[in-house]
């Protein structure tokens, strides 16, 4: 049997306000209609008639409007759950690629000029193909879940973590300075290094390489990702298991974007 969606306090507040509002409208309509009808054909609505006209909508319409409001709120809650599930990677529970890019773009495009700052990290597991080849994909999946958990444990509330594909993750750090972004990137790297597996007497550990781009101006996600990805491959080509971030500064309108290595 399928469980009904769990309603939040905000949902219950909305149900109460909606049911009360609709019932109040019913009372006003009942009183107004009865008064108009009786005023036309008789001397108007008597005090007992007014009480009856007010009470009937409350006792009859109140439960109905509450029930309909409850059903509506449950449908909205179910839709939110489906929407949230569709945005998540089923293996790691991180945002999937599409949802991560969409939310990153929402931040980058929505930020005011003076508030457009932060960092994008690209985190890639080192030598991951050898893990799958040596121990099997089920161990590789377990390793990815562990890596995702370490990344999520190292970031702040409000930061975005997404699985970009395979063993690559993206982390958006809204408002982060170069120093803070570097600290978080290093925390991720160190946290992943603590993961150890022992399979049939063989012990192995994991590591990640992290590349990042720190921005203090409006920038497109695609451009930001390319810069971060370049720093990631610099780490990959120089030994792995390291962090390399860069900052880019406002460039002259007619000139190229200037890069400053962190």
Separation CA 75–CA 67 (nearest Å): 12
**Torsion angle in degrees (nearest 10) through CA of 178, 182, 184, 188:** 150
Runs of H (alpha helix) within 57-160: 62-86, 97-110, 128-135, 137-154
User: For the CA atoms of 160, 164, 169, 174, what is the dihedral angle to 10 degrees?
Assistant: -30
135 near 218, Cβ under 8 Å?
A: no
167 is catalytic: yes
Per annotation, catalytic residue among 106, 115, 167, 182? 167
Measure the CA dihedral 236/238/239/245, to 10°. -60
Edge-first strand listing for the sheet containing 160-165? 160-165, 168-174, 118-125, 208-215, 243-249, 258-261
DSSP 8-class letter at 115: G
Residue 148 exposure: Cα atoms within 13 Å on the Cβ side: 25
Q: What is the DSSP letter of 114?
A: G
Q: Which of 226, 261, 224, 220 is nearest to 244 (CA)?
A: 261
Which residues share a beta bridge with 122?
170, 211
- Catalytic residue list: 167
């Amino acid at each position: 049997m399928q469980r009904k969606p769990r309603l939040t306090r905000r949902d219950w507040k909305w149900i109460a306000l909606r049911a009360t509002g609709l019932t109040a409208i019913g009372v006003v309509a009942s009183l107004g209609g009865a008064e108009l009808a009786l005023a036309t054909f008789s001397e108007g609505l008597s005090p007992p008639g007014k009480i009856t006209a007010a009470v009937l909508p409350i006792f009859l319409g109140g439960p109905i409007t509450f029930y309909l409001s409850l059903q509506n709120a449950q449908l909205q809650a179910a839709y939110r759950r489906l929407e949230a599930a569709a945005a998540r990677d089923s293996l790691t529970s991180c945002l999937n690629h599409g949802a991560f890019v969409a939310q990153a773009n929402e931040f980058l495009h929505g930020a005011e000029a003076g508030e457009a700052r932060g960092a994008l990290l690209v985190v890639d597991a080192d030598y991951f193909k050898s893990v799958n080849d040596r121990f099997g994909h089920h161990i590789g999946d377990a390793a990815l879940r562990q890596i995702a958990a370490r990344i999520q444990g190292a970031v702040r509330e409000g930061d975005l973590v997404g699985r970009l594909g395979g063993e690559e993750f993206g982390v958006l750090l809204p408002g982060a300075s170069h120093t803070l972004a570097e600290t978080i990137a290093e925390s991720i790297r160190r946290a992943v290094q603590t993961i150890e597996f022992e399979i049939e007497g063989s012990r192995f550990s994991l590591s990640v390489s992290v590349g990042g781009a720190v921005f203090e101006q409006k920038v497109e996600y695609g451009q930001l990702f390319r810069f971060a990805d370049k720093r990631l491959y610099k780490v990959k080509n120089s030994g792995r298991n390291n962090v390399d971030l860069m900052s880019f500064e406002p460039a002259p309108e007619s000139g190229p974007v200037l890069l400053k290595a962190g």
